[in-house]
């Protein structure tokens, strides 16, 4: 490659990320923190810990619902959520004239450890990282577009960086980090860290690109789920006297667990109108799929299974939508991969900072005009 | 050339840092939400209903149609007495065949609906609520659209 060509790619490398540098840094930092937000919650909030000193067996999700209904008798279950084996199960209860109450239940002892409302740290970090807290309109958020579009910047920086860096593979065979002079140390670190986190940049860039595609699909109202269509009105009973009886949420969960005993439940929601199902979602030992990739939909009127969600039945787009999160969040291998993702996130942040400092020194270093 | 480029890069960089105020602004907004006023409570057959628009914005466009979001509060204990209910804006009421657009959904405390709206709203258009009870009897009520 000629020198001129290399110079073009070098300029492009800078132009890609510099104009959005502040945004990139925020997204990088918040994403890094978000990878361990569950663990931070565990450390900071004792009420969120699912301690099990007596080695009790985990109670099933229908029991969590019983416990929550006793704890907030005036409420009605909005949903049931389970994020990690070491965190409490959270049952959110709708209330008449108050914000929904989140009941923190130790799934082993059955103890109610907290009843709180409002935003959680986990949810906040996710919203800040994923869509910069921009509001959601019908099916889209400008913030979600902005953040996922950064994947293009990320992939672009990766490609141009490799083009600029002569024989970059030597960073693997002969890593070099000269620490004598700041300018040289920064350059060495930027190249070394960049090449060593190639795999990470690729994973985040590609999953981020998928989020961009997904954002456009949502926005256009394209449906790619294989979930069953709502009941027809013929399937919803009439009644002469009292309203017809629905099965309870507990019965529905039991039905789901009878059908798929190995399902690790991470989400339950009751029907929101007469055609709707009880939704019980979870995960069945498929490490690459997320915690909502498996489950059953139960007809609340006859208590029968109306449909299933299973990776085998999914089309390409739906499959991608369930594969992206574990790769992006680093949850595929549990705590170990989360920590690797967290450290890689820090390295990525250092790439941004060192890149910025190199740019600043080149343009505004000694004798090159006023500093920023 | 190099100076101009450096200048431009610096301005863009500053802009991108200033842009970071937006999440703070949205955080402030979400902590201090402003809800529009409720519309008057009206009887709908044996029930009563109070609709409240979700915001003061014009109807939005989604997947080929226009909608306006409302929450609807029914009389206490009434949600259990309802088989289905629909909200729509137009010249007359009606339960749509096929796709359940405008269906009321939610909890027994409060319901929500994405009410379909015609592309051009005219003087005759009103907000219609249709409720069907478990016997299959239907009741209707309408509200004047806010000026």
Find chain A residues with C-beta within 8 A of B11's C-beta. none
- Which of the four pLDDT bands, split at 50, 70 and 90, describes residue A138? confident
What was the pLDDT predicted at B9?
82
Cβ distance of B108 and A243 shorter than 8 Å: no
A–B CB contacts, 8 A cutoff, strictly below: 102
What was the pLDDT predicted at A371?
45
- Locate the chain A residue with the closest alpha carbon to B24: A133
- The ipTM assigned to this model is 0.90
**C-beta of residue B68 within 8 angstroms of C-beta of residue B52:** no
In angstroms, rounded to a whole number, what is the distance separating the alpha carbons of residues A247 and B77?
A: 19
Cβ distance of B135 and A238 shorter than 8 Å: yes
In angstroms, rounded to a whole number, what is the distance separating the alpha carbons of residues B113 and B103?
A: 6
Residue A3 pLDDT > 80: no
Question: Could you give the residue ranges of the DSSP H alpha helices within chain A?
Answer: 3-17, 21-35, 37-44, 61-71, 121-131, 142-164, 170-173, 182-196, 198-220, 249-259, 316-329, 335-364
Find chain B residues with C-beta within 8 A of A230's C-beta. 100
Closest by Cβ to A240, choosing from B16, B20, B135: B135
Q: What is the pLDDT of residues A199-210, one digit of tens each?
A: 999 999 999 999
Residue A4 pLDDT > 80: no
- What is the residue-wise DSSP string for chain B? -HHHHHHHHHHHHHHHHHTTHHHHHHHHHHHS--PPPPPPPEEETTEEEEEEES-SSPPEEETTEEEEEEEEEESTT-GGGEEEEEEEEESS--PPSSS-TTB-EE-SS-EEEEEEE-SS--TT-EEEEEEEETTS-EEEEEEEPP-
**C-beta of residue A290 within 8 angstroms of C-beta of residue A277:** no
Find chain A residues with C-beta within 8 A of B16's C-beta. 19-23
What was the pLDDT predicted at A1?
58
Find chain A residues with C-beta within 8 A of B103's C-beta. 273, 275
Tell me the average pLDDT of chain A: 93
Residue A165 pLDDT > 60: yes
Mean pLDDT of A113-127: 92
Q: What is the pLDDT of residues A259-272, one digit of tens each?
A: 999 999 999 999 99
Q: What is the pLDDT of residues A126-137, one digit of tens each?
A: 999 999 999 998
Q: What is the pLDDT of residues A52-107, one digit of tens each?
A: 999 999 999 999 999 999 999 999 999 999 999 999 999 999 999 888 999 999 99
Residue A369 pLDDT > 70: no
Q: What are the Cα distances from residue A73, in Å, to A69, A96, A246, B14, B88?
A: 5, 12, 19, 53, 34
Interface test with B, best of A138, A234, A241 (most B CBs within 10 A): A138
In angstroms, rounded to a whole number, what is the distance separating the alpha carbons of residues A271 and A298?
A: 9
What was the pLDDT predicted at B14?
87
Query: CA of A187, closest CA in chain B: separation in Å?
Result: 19
Query: CA of B126, closest CA in chain A: separation in Å?
Result: 22
**C-beta of residue A289 within 8 angstroms of C-beta of residue A97:** no
What was the pLDDT predicted at A212?
98
In angstroms, rounded to a whole number, what is the distance separating the alpha carbons of residues A158 and A168?
A: 12
What was the pLDDT predicted at A213?
97
Cβ distance of B62 and A139 shorter than 8 Å: yes
Residues of A near B (CB-CB distance < 8 A)?
14-15, 18-23, 26, 76, 78, 94-96, 128, 132-135, 137-139, 143, 220-221, 230, 233, 236, 238-240, 243-244, 272-276, 359, 363-364, 369, 372
Closest by Cβ to B16, choosing from A21, A133, A359: A21
What was the pLDDT predicted at A179?
86
- Locate the chain A residue with the closest alpha carbon to B62: A138
Cβ distance of B134 and A15 shorter than 8 Å: no
What was the pLDDT predicted at A2?
67
Query: CA of A264, closest CA in chain B: separation in Å?
Result: 26
Q: Which of A155-159, A177-181, A288-292, B111-115 has the lowest mean pLDDT?
A: A177-181
Find chain A residues with C-beta within 8 A of B63's C-beta. 139, 220-221
Residue A366 pLDDT > 70: no
Tell me the average pLDDT of chain B: 90
- Which of the four pLDDT bands, split at 50, 70 and 90, describes residue A372? very low
Residue A254 pLDDT > 80: yes
Query: CA of A56, closest CA in chain B: separation in Å?
Result: 34
Cβ distance of A23 and B19 shorter than 8 Å: yes
Mean pLDDT of A316-327: 96
Of A286 and B2, the one with more pLDDT: A286
What was the pLDDT predicted at A104?
97
Find chain B residues with C-beta within 8 A of A94's C-beta. 107-110
Interface test with A, best of B4, B8, B10, B78 (most A CBs within 10 A): B10
């Amino acid at each position: 490659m000629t020198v001129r060509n290399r110079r073009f790619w070098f300029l492009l490398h800078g132009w890609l990320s510099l104009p959005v540098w502040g945004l990139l840094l925020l997204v990088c930092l918040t994403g890094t923190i978000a990878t361990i937000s569950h663990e931070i919650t565990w450390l900071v909030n004792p009420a969120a810990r699912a301690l099990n000193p007596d080695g009790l067996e985990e109670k099933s999700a229908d029991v969590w619902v019983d416990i929550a209904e006793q704890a907030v008798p005036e409420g009605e279950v909005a949903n049931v959520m389970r994020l990690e084996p070491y965190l409490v199960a959270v049952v959110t209860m709708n209330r008449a004239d108050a914000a929904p109450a989140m009941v923190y239940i130790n799934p082993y002892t059955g103890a109610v450890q907290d009843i709180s409302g409002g935003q959680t740290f986990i949810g906040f970090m996710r919203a800040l990282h994923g869509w910069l807290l921009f509001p959601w309109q019908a099916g889209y958020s400008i913030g979600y577009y902005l953040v996922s579009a950064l994947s293009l910047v990320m992939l672009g920086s990766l490609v141009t960086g490799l083009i600029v860096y002569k024989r970059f593979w030597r960073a693997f065979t002969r890593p070099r980090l000269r620490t004598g002079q700041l300018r040289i140390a920064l350059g060495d670190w930027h190249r070394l860290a960049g090449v060593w986190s190639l795999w990470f940049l690729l994973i985040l860039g590609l999953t981020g690109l998928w989020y961009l595609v997904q954002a456009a699909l949502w926005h256009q109202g394209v449906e790619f789920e294989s979930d069953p269509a709502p009941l027809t009105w013929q399937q919803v009973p009439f009644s002469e006297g009292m309203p017809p009886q629905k099965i309870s949420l507990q019965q529905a969960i039991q039905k789901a667990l009878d059908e798929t005993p190995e399902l690790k439940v991470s989400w339950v929601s009751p029907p929101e109108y007469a055609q709707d199902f009880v939704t019980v979602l979870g995960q069945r030992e498929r490490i690459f799929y997320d915690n909502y990739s498996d489950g059953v939909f139960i007809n609340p009127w006859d208590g029968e299974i109306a449909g299933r969600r299973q990776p085998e039945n999914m089309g390409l787009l739906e499959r991608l939508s369930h594969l992206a999160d574990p790769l992006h969040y680093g949850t595929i291998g549990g705590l170990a991969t989360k920590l690797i993702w967290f450290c890689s996130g820090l390295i990525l942040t250092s790439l941004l900072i060192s890149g910025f400092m190199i740019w600043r020194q080149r343009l505004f270093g000694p004798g090159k005009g006023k500093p920023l | 050339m190099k100076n101009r480029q450096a200048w431009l890069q610096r301005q863009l960089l500053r802009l991108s840092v200033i842009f970071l105020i937006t999440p703070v602004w949205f955080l402030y907004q979400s902590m201090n939400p402003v809800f529009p006023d409720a519309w008057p409570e009206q009887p709908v057959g044996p029930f009563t209903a109070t609709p409240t628009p979700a915001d003061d914005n014009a109807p939005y466009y989604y997947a080929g149609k226009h909608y306006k979001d409302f929450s609807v509060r029914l009389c206490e204990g009434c949600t259990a007495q309802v088989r289905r209910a629909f909200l729509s804006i137009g010249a007359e009421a009606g339960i749509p065949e096929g796709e359940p657009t405008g269906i009321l959904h939610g909890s027994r405390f409060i319901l929500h609906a994405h009410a379909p709206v015609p592309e051009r709203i005219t003087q005759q258009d009103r907000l219609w609520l249709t409720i069907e009870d478990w016997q299959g009897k239907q009741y209707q009520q309408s509200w004047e659209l806010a000026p």
